[in-house]
Amino acid sequence: MKLGIHAYAWCSQWSNKTLDLIDRVKGMGLDFIEIPLMCLETFDTRAVRERLKRVNLGAVTSTVLLGDTDITSDNPLVQARGVEYLAACVRATAEIGAQSFSGVIYAQHAKPMPSRPGEQHWRRSADSLRQVARLASDLGILIGLEPVNRYESCLINTCEQALRLKAMIGEACVKIHLDTYHMNIEEKSFYEATKRAGKDLIHYHLCENDRGIPGTGLIDWDGIFKALAEINYQGNAALESFVDCTDNMNTWVWRQLAPSGDQLLREGVAFIHSKQKEYGLE
């Protein structure tokens, strides 16, 4: 299993001013950095690729859809804009030499809804993502559907729902991305959800239930690592914790979750490494 960290541990928006984070992650002895693609206009693929290559660090990318790129919208123009944006993200992922792109890419993040989503929302999402997936397949990129909690998505909250959408899309490059923070709210069992993802699992966010230091809260780490060992998981897993203040409060972290970001990362990485060793996933 490859261990990495999300760039949001330090920054609220990626740009060439944050390229030094690649060196910082390499210095922590991690395998990859997860880079957000929320602002493609400031994403210099050549600079990122060259810095990654210089320090020999892997990378994955992720994003979320907003209101003007919601592929489940009843407005065909918004749907088309969403497909165009996701396609651009896939191309950017390929251009930096990464091999997977994931996140809340199936519907608007935190979309307000007056009622439960209907079949039309699932169909629009599947039809749109099928177009993106075919491009991703041509470029050798895997796409991960990330279930998130009910306050951040009305469409996909569980691994089972993600697998349903994957089946509707019907493209082999579409996979599953799990996140322990969201699973803590929506899943009945960390172990069962991880096993359910099985061979389709390509990315895992390792977060404590409060997004503080992993190992200090309520997450069933033994259940998670037992399942990962049983499926012989060799994919990517990233810490996604937010402590240091940034100008992006969409992380919804309103109190200090650890004495410092550096301490959270140092102790969190050490804890995850100990679980990898315990369950033979180094």
- Kindly give the pairing relationship between strand 201-206 and strand 174-179: parallel
Average pLDDT rounded to a whole number, residues 10-29 = 93
* In the predicted structure, residue 217 carries a pLDDT above the cut 80: yes
Q: 57-61, 199-203, 257-261 — which is least confidently predicted? A: 257-261
- Position 117 pLDDT exceeds 80: yes
pTM for this one?
0.97
CB-count burial class (<10 Å; 0-12, 13-18, 19+) for 224: buried
32 DSSP β-pair partners:
4, 58
Tell me the residue type at 10.
W
pLDDT band per the 50, 70, 90 thresholds, residue 255: confident
Q: What is the Cα–Cα distance from 45 to 243, expressed in whole angstroms?
A: 27
Nearby residues of 148 by Cβ (< 8 Å), 6 or more positions away: 104, 109, 156, 157, 179, 182
pLDDT at 13: 85
**Would you state the structure tokens that stand for residue 71, as one six-digit string?**
């592929």
User: Which amino acid is it at 76?
Assistant: P
Q: Which of 169, 166, 223, 238 is nearest to 199 (CA)?
A: 166
Residue 263 is predicted with a pLDDT of 87
Assign 45 a pLDDT band (cuts: 50, 70, 90). Answer: very high
**How far is Cα 23 from Cα 37, in angstroms, rounded to an integer?**
19
Query: Can you give the pLDDT at residue 247?
Result: 59
Active site residues: 146, 240
**Interacting residues of 132 by C-beta distance below 8 A, sequence separation 6+:** 83, 86, 87, 90, 105, 143
Q: How far is CA 165 from the centre of its chain?
A: 17
As given in the structure block, the two tokens for residue 2 are 């490859």
Q: Which amino acid is at 110?
A: A
Q: What is the pLDDT of residues 219-248, one digit of tens each?
A: 999 999 999 999 999 999 999 876 655 555
Q: Encoding tokens for residue 221?
A: 């780490």
Given this model, what pLDDT does residue 256 score? 82
With H, G, I as helix, E, B as strand and everything else as coil, classify residue 178: strand
Q: In Å, how far are 103, 105, 135, 150 from 120, measured between CA atoms?
A: 21, 17, 23, 19
Query: What's the pLDDT at 129?
Result: 99
Number of domains in the chain: 1
Which tens digit of pLDDT belongs to each residue from 46-97? 999 999 999 999 999 999 999 999 999 999 999 999 999 999 999 999 999 9
Question: Residue 162 is part of which domain span?
Answer: 2-278
What are the tokens at 19?
Answer: 């390229």
Return the structure tokens found at 171: 């493209």
Q: Residue 259 — pLDDT band, cuts 50, 70, 90?
A: confident
| Per-residue confidence (pLDDT) for residue 261, from 0 to 100 | 76
CATH of the domain at 164: 3.20.20.150
Compute the average pLDDT of residues 211-221. Answer: 95
Report the pLDDT value the prediction gives residue 42, as an integer from 0 to 100: 86
Q: What does pLDDT average to over the chain? A: 95
pLDDT for res 248: 56
